[in-house]
Amino acid sequence: MHTIGAIAIAGIAALAAALVMNGGDPPVHNSKEKTLTWDTLKPEETSPKRDDKLVLTDAEWRKRLKPDQYKILRSHGTDPAFCGILEDNHLEGEYHCAGCNLPLFRSDDKFNSGTGWPSFLLPVARKNVWFRTDRSYGMTRVEVLCAKCDGHLGHVFPDGPAPSGLRFCINGNALSFVKKVVK
C-alpha cells in the first residue's frame, strides 16, 4: 500500500513539476507558423518582394478568374456571409489562393467562427500573406492579401481562439480547396 501510495504521490509531483515547467502555456498547435499573434503581426503596408510574383493586367485577371473571384481578389469585394463557399468545408487539405494557387491556409487551422466566412487561426506561413491597414467604411481593420499575386483575401481580427488568438476572416471566393490525398 505504501509503495503504491508513494508512486501515486511521485506521479502527482512529476505532473505538477511538468505543469510548472510549462508555465501554463497554451497547448502547442501543430501549425508551422507558431509565432504570429496580434502583437507580432506588423502590417508591412506595401507588397513584399518575391521572386515568384505574379503580375497580370486587369484584362488578364478578368480572363483568368470567375466573376465572383475577380470581385473579391482584384476588386476588394466581400462575399455575402453564409454564401456557402468553403465556410462549411470540413475536409482535410489546403486552401490555396484562387488567383495564383499559392498555399495560404490549412484545414488543421480552420475553425467555425459562426461569422459566415471561412475562418482560420493562422496562415500556412507568414511570408505567404501580407497585411495592410484598411480604413474603408469608417473602420480600421487589417487587410490580408496574397503575397504572390497581391489578391485581396479578407481581414484578420484579434478575437480568435488560442493559441494564435487570431481570426483570419477569409472570403471563400478568394480560395480554392485542394483535398489531401490519402496515400
Angle at alpha carbon of residue 161, lines to 160 and 166, rounded to 5°: 35
Quickly list H helices, the chain: 2-22, 58-64, 67-73
Residue 169: active-site member: yes
First to last CA, the chain: 50
The least distance separating Zn ion from the CB of residue 145, rounded to whole angstroms, comes to 8
Instruction: Give whichever of 134 and 163 is closer to Zn ion, judged by the CB atom.
Output: 134
State the amino acid at position 31 in one-letter form. S
The least distance separating Zn ion from the CB of residue 153, rounded to whole angstroms, comes to 8
- Under the criterion CB under 5 A, does residue 149 sit at the interface with Zn ion? yes
- Under the criterion CB under 5 A, does residue 154 sit at the interface with Zn ion? no
Q: Rounded CA gap, 14 and 108, in Å?
A: 31
> How many CB atoms sit inside 10 A of residue 133's CB?
10
- Among 71, 74, 96, 148, indicate the residue that binds Zn ion (CB under 5 A): 148
Instruction: Give whichever of 85 and 149 is closer to Zn ion, judged by the CB atom.
Output: 149
Q: Which residues bind Zn ion (CB under 5 A)?
A: 97, 99-100, 102, 146, 148-149, 151
| Residues noted as catalytic | 169
